[in-house]
């Protein structure tokens, strides 16, 4: 579509062969994490020579520094973005908007015609009412005929006419009510038609004008592609399905929730979702080597006393501020993955979140139970699988959890790199009951002054399998740890623990047990803690 806009003559443009003004709208969008790149593509047939291609309808907030333009079929000279003092633009409604306005007009005409029919049906009632009033007036007159025959005839006439008028009045009222029954449907049709137009036409936003200077060697079609950043985001969401049985499997049904606040509707755009995060940290963090020093505790105590005896003036002085290096922010480290939707999609700005179904990934899984008797009263079903896909699994704030087709709960989902381990909980196992009992806890005293410098403790953890099937169970317990040589922590357990410092977490102990149906397992842990005389255990 080509328009020669006389108003553009007011722009400070160089002498050109012709100016082509074309309307545009988003045609493709790539959405990243907290960021989107919107693309518009326009085509126009030009003659050979230098021309100006003008797009008058870009969002006003588009930044010239982040705007990117490419041209096919001609050589791009310069681009100029104007955000103020724009020439007036003619109305150019899309086909959908034109259809919505026509629907409103039809609905309003139908409602008006219905009201006319109701009035037509009511006319007979008004006429009958007037006739009744006239007849009533005749019957009330004082100068009625004296002749009995004439008076009887007049009475019969009044009776017959009153009956006919009343019947006509009632029939007219019934007809009007019958016609009016359709009014609610027509009113709803008018409301729906107006709502459709509102959905297609967001509040008018200020526009920017983009002028492209192009030079075509020969006559033909010139295609301009314009890209600019916009406010949008997407996040993954999962349905995590665990199938138990002889061959346990973990299936991730992946989808994406897309939100856009770009100030314009996206109508039938080609949508691409990217796992890259252009707005996140792009530079490596800077390290600041720490400076260590040791101090005499007695000298430090004296210094503290001196500080406490400072004058009120000094105490009220502002404290020095230590410059701290900002902590590095989490950043996804890995190759970006893009998902291109096979069909166009429309997403209204600020009005809706679009759910886009992606795909399913299935992995072989190991199903077991995890028990924390010190905190929980039941064990929890766990599934472990390896991400055998070639792409990372992004973290999600919401994931619905299913076991053998039944919804068991909702949870978050942690990010898993390609080849990494997936560990997901699937709710409590009521048939695996846990008990935790402290059997013995004591402190010993030594010296002339009673100072506790030793502590012993014995606990017993009980796991009972009330199910009719065996379970593999990982039992977890926390043992104190120390970084001081003089603080000695010794512990033993029956049976012996399978692993210490699980997942590189100091003091975290794990037992691996296989518990038959109806069986009970006890685990006892004894610990002895010793520290120097005169010290206090924290």
Q: Is residue 380's pLDDT more than 70? A: yes
Q: Is residue 9's pLDDT more than 50? A: no
What does the DSSP 8-state code read for residue 10?
G
Higher pLDDT, 308 or 515: 515
* Mean pLDDT computed over every residue of the chain: 79
Q: Is residue 527's pLDDT more than 60? A: yes
Q: What b-and-e string marks burial along 491-524, b requiring 16 or more CB atoms within 10 Å of the CB?
A: bebeeebeeeeeeeeeebbbbebebeeeeebebe
- d(C-alpha 114, C-alpha 363), whole Å: 63
Mean per-residue pLDDT, 55-65: 88
Higher pLDDT, 195 or 165: 195
What does the DSSP 8-state code read for residue 291?
P
- d(C-alpha 274, C-alpha 212), whole Å: 30
State pLDDT tens for residues 335-352: 467 888 888 988 888 766
Backbone angles phi, psi at 232, to 5 degrees: -160, 165
Nearest of 455, 458, 456, 465 to residue 437 by alpha carbon: 458
Pairing of β 49-59 and β 18-21 = parallel
State pLDDT tens for residues 36-54: 999 999 999 999 999 999 8
pLDDT on residue 334: 41
Rg (CA), the chain: 42
pLDDT on residue 351: 62
Nearest of 173, 174, 214, 287 to residue 45 by alpha carbon: 214
State pLDDT tens for residues 486-526: 888 889 999 999 999 998 899 899 999 999 999 999 999 99
pTM value is 0.62
Q: In this structure, are residues 462 and 477 in contact, taking their beta carbons and an 8 Å threshold? A: no
Tokens of 283: 């530079």
């Amino acid at each position: 579509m080509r328009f020669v806009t006389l108003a553009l003559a007011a722009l400070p443009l160089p002498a050109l062969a012709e100016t082509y003004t074309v309307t545009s709208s988003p045609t493709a969008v790539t959405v990243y994490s907290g960021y989107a790149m919107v693309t518009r593509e326009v085509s126009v047939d030009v003659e050979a020579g230098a021309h100006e291609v003008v797009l008058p309808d870009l969002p006003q907030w588009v930044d010239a520094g982040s705007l990117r333009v490419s041209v096919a079929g001609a050589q791009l000279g310069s681009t100029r973005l104007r955000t103020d003092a724009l020439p007036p633009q003619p109305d150019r409604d899309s086909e959908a908007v034109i259809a919505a306005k026509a629907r409103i007009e039809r609905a309003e005409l139908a409602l008006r015609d219905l009201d006319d029919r109701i009035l037509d049906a009511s006319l007979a009632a008004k006429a009958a009412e007037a006739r009744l009033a006239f007849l009533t007036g005749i019957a009330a007159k004082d100068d009625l005929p004296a002749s009995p025959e004439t008076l009887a005839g007049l009475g019969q006439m009044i009776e017959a006419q009153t009956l006919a008028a009343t019947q006509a009045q009632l029939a007219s009222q019934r007809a009007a009510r019958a016609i009016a029954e359709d009014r609610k449907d027509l009113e709803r049709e008018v409301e729906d038609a107006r709502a459709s137009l509102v959905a297609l036409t967001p509040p008018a936003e200020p526009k920017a004008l983009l002028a492209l200077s192009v030079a075509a060697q020969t006559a033909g079609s010139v295609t301009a592609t314009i890209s600019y950043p916009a406010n949008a985001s997407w996040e993954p969401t999962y349905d995590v399905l665990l199938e138990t049985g002889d061959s346990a499997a973990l299936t991730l049904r992946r989808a994406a929730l897309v939100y856009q606040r770009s100030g314009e509707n996206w109508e039938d755009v080609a949508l691409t979702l990217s796992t890259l995060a252009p707005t996140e940290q792009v530079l490596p963090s800077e390290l600041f080597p720490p400076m260590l020093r040791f101090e005499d505790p007695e000298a430090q105590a004296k210094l503290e006393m001196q500080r406490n005896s400072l004058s009120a003036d000094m105490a009220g002085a502002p404290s020095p501020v230590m410059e701290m290096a900002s902590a590095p922010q989490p950043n996804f480290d890995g190759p970006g993955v893009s998902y291109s939707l096979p069909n166009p999609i429309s997403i209204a700005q600020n009005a809706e979140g679009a759910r886009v179904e992606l795909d399913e990934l299935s992995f072989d899984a190991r199903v077991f139970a995890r028990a924390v008797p010190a905190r929980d009263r039941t064990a929890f079903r766990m599934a472990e699988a390896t991400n055998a896909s070639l792409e990372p699994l992004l973290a999600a704030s919401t994931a619905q959890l299913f076991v053998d087709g039944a919804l068991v709960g909702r949870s978050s989902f942690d990010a898993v790199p390609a080849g990494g381990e997936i560990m997901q909980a699937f709710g409590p196992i009521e048939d695996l009951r846990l008990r935790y009992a402290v059997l013995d806890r004591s402190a010993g005293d030594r010296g002339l002054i009673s100072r506790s410098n030793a502590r012993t403790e014995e606990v017993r953890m009980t796991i009972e399998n009330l199910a009719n099937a065996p379970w593999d169970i990982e039992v977890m317990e926390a043992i104190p740890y120390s970084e001081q040589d003089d603080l000695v922590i010794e512990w033993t357990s029956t049976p012996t623990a399978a692993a210490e410092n699980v997942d590189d977490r100091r003091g975290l102990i794990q037992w691996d047990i296989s518990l038959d149906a109806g069986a009970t397992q006890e685990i006892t842990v004894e610990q002895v803690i010793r520290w120097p005389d005169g010290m206090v255990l924290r």
